[in-house]
Structure 1
């Protein structure tokens, strides 16, 4: 199997390093894409072109997209070389919706607050990397991920009109972290049903599940090999 992996906010393909290593260990062709997130003029069409270049002349490609990467994946999935899409803790876009509009349109703030309150946490906190994202990631993996400067995200991705007009006719799976504090599992399930008419596959782990559970995530992604077209 061939996998091209699209990162979330910040655009660094290094996010996928553990999963790429695991997929390659199992004999798969896997590559992660670096998106031009540091370029404030780069928007979704530019992101999509980078991913198309990464697909290259390979066929039967599975696109795997994390979080914000779900805005880029459908713009490439109409390519006949792409056979399926796997979205991981995704921001599932509606046609024409910008990433900036997504938060209010989906009711994200209320869903995040309700989940925090149910867990006994402050329902209206500022975003905290350790609390919201790295709470289930091993300390050594966290240290490597946070080494160096934080990656920026292009402002154009959030404001430039999204060229998506309909979701491509390609099998699409959604993998949800059971313990995701930023995009709670029930929130993800609702969006997947409303926007893609699919259910989610739930794994233990938070928002950065490729860092906390790379083997389980590889198992789940591999399981779709025999389900393509279903």
Structure 2
């Protein structure tokens, strides 16, 4: 079973193309809707939502996108997970908050350097950094599912004492402009001591390349 955690904003819709592809291949898949826009809740409640979605299921592959990387290890500390896959995800240290992560990892300098090398704007905007490789019709449909991430979660620590036991795989998209691939590889080496895998696509790879992503996820289970 695949359990899919979205990034900031918490929209399960982000995974809809991956869910469809997994189900077409005979796998059970659940994308968790997180209350990202709720100003009264944050990482502990996100963790509760994912734990509830897993229930008493076995053979769980937990997949986290972007900010979902903060929730995923907290889930693994509470329930059994066979495999954890981080896709263009933030990799937290124990006790680190999402708000601290940006400076601690040197993200801003890495993003700007990648933009200058790649010849696109260093000023953040959604089309340039998130939607540049997403099909136009998918991007248009996604507008109805966008919501801002409330501030509270950014101030809450990743509530783990150490990285959890399940095997962790880090999957980076080569054309991610928000978390550049080399930046992701460095963070994975520094924080987990593992080499990240690569695939084509941008930050929202579940929307732009769902078939390729599902190929990778299934391969990890074999």
TM-score (norm 2): 0.97
3-state secondary structure, aligned to 1:180 = coil
Q: What residue in structure 2 maps to residue 166 of structure 1? A: 162
Q: How far is 1:81 from its partner? A: 3.0
Equivalent in 114, 132, 135 of residue 135 of structure 1: 132
The Cα offsets for residues 184-208 of structure 1, whole Å up to 9 and x where unpaired, read as 0000000011111111111110000
**Structure 1, 201-210 or 114-123: larger mean CA deviation:** 114-123
Aligned length: 222
CA distance in 2, matches of 1:55, 1:80: 8
Q: What residue in structure 2 maps to residue 93 of structure 1? A: 92
Q: How far is 1:80 from its partner? A: 4.6
3-state secondary structure, aligned to 2:190 = helix
CA distance in 1, matches of 2:77, 2:59: 12
Report if the CA contact (8 A) 1:4-1:30 is conserved: yes
**Unaligned 5+ runs, structure 2:** none
Q: How far is 1:87 from its partner? A: 0.5
What aligned pairs does 1:41-190 form with structure 2 within 5 A after superposition?
41-123=40-122, 125=123, 127-146=124-143, 148=144, 150-190=146-186
The Cα offsets for residues 1-46 of structure 1, whole Å up to 9 and x where unpaired, read as x011000010010100000000010100100000111211212111
Q: CA RMSD in A?
A: 1.1
The Cα offsets for residues 114-148 of structure 1, whole Å up to 9 and x where unpaired, read as 1000012233x1x21000000001111111112x2
CA distance in 2, matches of 1:100, 1:21: 33
Is the aligned partner of 1:16 residue 2:11? Answer: no
Report if the CA contact (8 A) 1:78-1:170 is conserved: no
Structure 1 residues 79 and 60: alpha-carbon distance in aligned structure 2, compared to 1, 3 A threshold: farther
TM-score (norm 1): 0.94
- Once superposed, which parts of structure 1, at least 4 consecutive aligned residues long, lie more than 6 Å away? none
Is the aligned partner of 1:195 residue 2:191? Answer: yes
